[in-house]
């Protein structure tokens, strides 16, 4: 087997739930050894979620495949010292507590970097380690609301739509954390020094709205929901209802795609949408509503117009294209051999772990890493 890029890198993971565990899953997928530090008795809160897969939740299994688990009570001085000992030998530490918590536990960056100057210490939080909102409690929905992202999803009644993707946790937290850890390891190769990474999920959401920031900063044209190129202000970027209660996602933004689009729907008279875009949108909506989703799918099959039927997640998973790319080939297993497809990750082929791997039982790595007995889950 080809040596994976992060082979030999040890990651100490104090995080729970989604952002940190997904970050360290990406590192594990590329070959890092991830030691997950959990609370005795309960472990990561994600273990208790529903539905179940094995003895824990399927959410936990998907996010913690291939890691090792140790249990330490960080408020207990003996266990805290065991955590310090683990940090001495770690290359990377990931934590997701509120700012200041790791310092109070004696596990802050200043203490650990003095013992291990090569340590790359990554802190993931909602609003960052500094600033007036650093200690504010929040979840993904709040980060999207505070950064203006949620406001751009408002419908005709002015109410923002409830996001179905955890953009802040994943796109603002897990992915930037993994990226910056890799950059820090590369820098460490050059100068031998670790560093403290401050990854703020809210900060990183602004990148997703680059076009809105550009419009606002350059000429004061701050975007409004339902009025811009990708928020509903053009008939060329819309979701249209079909006759059978399904929907067509139409994104023929460029002129060549737009011309194909109006041709296929039988409305070439609508090709000039500049004078009255709302009238054109209404006319297209009426046309799309006259036929079923399957009919439109057949008509657009093989046509370059950036149009497709809106799929359910179940339909999307069954798409032969994703299976041809091996997206769901790898598996995650329980201790007794149950298996489901592992979470697809944005790790290119050179770094992927192609094997089915178990998720860790609570504290099963205690003997190997801290010399304590294996914890038995009650």
CATH number at residue 70: 3.40.50.10540
| pLDDT at 348 > cutoff 60 | yes
| pLDDT at 357 > cutoff 80 | yes
Residue 49 corresponds to which tokens in the numbers above? Answer: 């979620």
Q: Could you give the C-alpha distances from 238 to 56, 146, 227, 276, in angstroms and in order?
A: 41, 26, 12, 16
How many Å separate Cα 312 from the centre of its chain?
A: 19
Please check whether residues 38 and 123 belong to one and the same domain: yes
| pLDDT at 350 > cutoff 70 | no
Q: How confident is the model at residue 351 (pLDDT cuts 50, 70, 90)?
A: low
Residue 272 corresponds to which tokens in the numbers above? Answer: 């000039």
| pLDDT at 35 > cutoff 50 | yes
Rounded to an integer, what distance in angstroms lies between the CA atom of residue 328 and that of residue 318?
Answer: 10
Least confident of 69-78, 254-263, 348-357, 365-374: 348-357
Residues 358, 333: contact at Cβ < 8 Å?
Answer: yes
What pLDDT score was predicted for residue 137?
Answer: 96
Catalytic residues: 139, 169
Residues 6+ apart with CB under 8 A from 12: 35, 37, 83, 86, 87, 90, 92, 93, 94
Element (H, E) at 33: strand 33-38
Please check whether residues 297 and 345 belong to one and the same domain: no
| pLDDT at 378 > cutoff 50 | no
Tally the domains of the chain.
2
Please check whether residues 37 and 82 belong to one and the same domain: yes
Please check whether residues 37 and 167 belong to one and the same domain: yes
What domain range includes position 67? Answer: 10-206+326-369
Is 230 inside any structural domain? no
Rounded to an integer, what distance in angstroms lies between the CA atom of residue 21 and that of residue 139?
Answer: 16
* Other beta carbons within 10 Å of 232: 20
| Mean pLDDT value of segment 337-355 | 82
Q: How confident is the model at residue 317 (pLDDT cuts 50, 70, 90)?
A: very high
Among candidate residues 291, 115, 142, 161, the one with its CA nearest the CA of residue 205? 142
* Other beta carbons within 10 Å of 36: 28
| Mean pLDDT value of segment 303-324 | 97
Please calculate the CA angle 363-369-371 and round it to the nearest 5 degrees.
Answer: 85
Please check whether residues 28 and 164 belong to one and the same domain: yes
Please check whether residues 43 and 159 belong to one and the same domain: yes
What pLDDT score was predicted for residue 349?
Answer: 74
Please check whether residues 198 and 70 belong to one and the same domain: yes
What pLDDT score was predicted for residue 308?
Answer: 98
| pLDDT at 46 > cutoff 80 | yes
Among candidate residues 40, 132, 135, 37, the one with its CA nearest the CA of residue 86? 37
Helix (H, G, I), strand (E, B) or coil at 119: coil
Rounded to an integer, what distance in angstroms lies between the CA atom of residue 9 and that of residue 274?
Answer: 56
Rounded to an integer, what distance in angstroms lies between the CA atom of residue 16 and that of residue 63?
Answer: 10
First to last CA, the chain: 38
Is 320 inside any structural domain? no
Is 352 inside any structural domain? yes
Is 291 inside any structural domain? yes
Please check whether residues 296 and 332 belong to one and the same domain: no
- Looking at per-residue pLDDT, the higher value among 349 and 180 belongs to 180
| pLDDT at 372 > cutoff 90 | no
Rounded to an integer, what distance in angstroms lies between the CA atom of residue 256 and that of residue 263?
Answer: 11
* Other beta carbons within 10 Å of 112: 23
Residues 6+ apart with CB under 8 A from 275: none
Is 16 inside any structural domain? yes
What pLDDT score was predicted for residue 4?
Answer: 87
Last residue of a domain, one of 260, 281, 309: 309
Interval 193-220: pLDDT, tens: 999 999 999 999 999 999 999 999 999 9
| Mean pLDDT value of segment 164-187 | 98
Residues 6+ apart with CB under 8 A from 89: 10, 116
Q: Identify the bridge partners of residue 241 per DSSP, sorted by sequence position.
A: 247
What mean pLDDT, rounded, does the chain reach?
94
What pLDDT score was predicted for residue 376?
Answer: 44
Please check whether residues 140 and 279 belong to one and the same domain: no
What pLDDT score was predicted for residue 371?
Answer: 74
pTM over 0.85: yes
């Amino acid at each position: 087997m080809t040596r994976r890029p992060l082979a030999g890198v040890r990651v100490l993971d104090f995080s729970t739930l989604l952002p940190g565990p997904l970050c360290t899953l990406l590192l594990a997928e590329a070959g890092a050894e991830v030691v997950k530090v959990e609370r005795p008795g309960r472990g990561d809160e994600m273990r208790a979620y529903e539905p179940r897969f094995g003895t824990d939740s399927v959410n936990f299994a998907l996010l913690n495949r291939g890691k090792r688990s140790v249990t330490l009570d960080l408020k207990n001085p003996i266990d805290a010292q065991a955590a310090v000992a683990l940090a001495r030998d770690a290359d990377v530490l990931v934590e997701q507590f509120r700012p200041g918590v790791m310092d109070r536990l004696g596990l802050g960056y200043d203490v650990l970097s003095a013992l291990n100057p090569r340590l790359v210490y990554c802190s993931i939080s909602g609003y960052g380690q500094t600033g007036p909102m650093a200690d504010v409690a929040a979840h993904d929905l709040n980060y999207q609301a505070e950064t203006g992202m949620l406001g751009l999803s408002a419908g005709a009644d002015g109410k923002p739509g409830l996001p179905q993707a955890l953009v802040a946790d994943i796109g603002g937290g897990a992915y930037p954390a993994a990226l910056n850890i890799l950059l820090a390891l590369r820098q460490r190769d050059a100068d031998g020094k670790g560093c403290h990474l401050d990854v703020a999920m809210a900060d990183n959401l602004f990148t997703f709205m680059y076009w809105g920031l550009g419009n606002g900063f350059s000429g004061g044209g701050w975007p409004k929901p339902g009025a811009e190129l990708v928020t509903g202000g053009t008939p060329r970027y819309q979701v249209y209802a079909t006759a059978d209660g399904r929907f067509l996602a139409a994104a023929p933004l460029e002129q060549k795609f737009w011309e194909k689009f109006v041709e296929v729907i039988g409305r070439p008279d609508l090709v000039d949408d500049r004078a009255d875009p709302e009238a054109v949108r209404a006319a297209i909506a009426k046309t799309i509503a006259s036929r079923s989703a399957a009919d439109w799918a057949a008509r657009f099959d093989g046509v370059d117009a950036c149009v497709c039927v809106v799929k359910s997640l179940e339909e999307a998973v069954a798409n032969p294209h994703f299976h041809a790319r091996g997206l769901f080939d790898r598996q995650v297993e329980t201790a007794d051999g149950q298996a489901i497809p592992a979470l697809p990750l944005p790790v290119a082929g050179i770094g992927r772990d192609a094997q089915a791997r178990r998720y860790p039982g609570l504290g099963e790595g205690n003997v190997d890493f801290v010399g304590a007995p294996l914890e038995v889950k009650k």
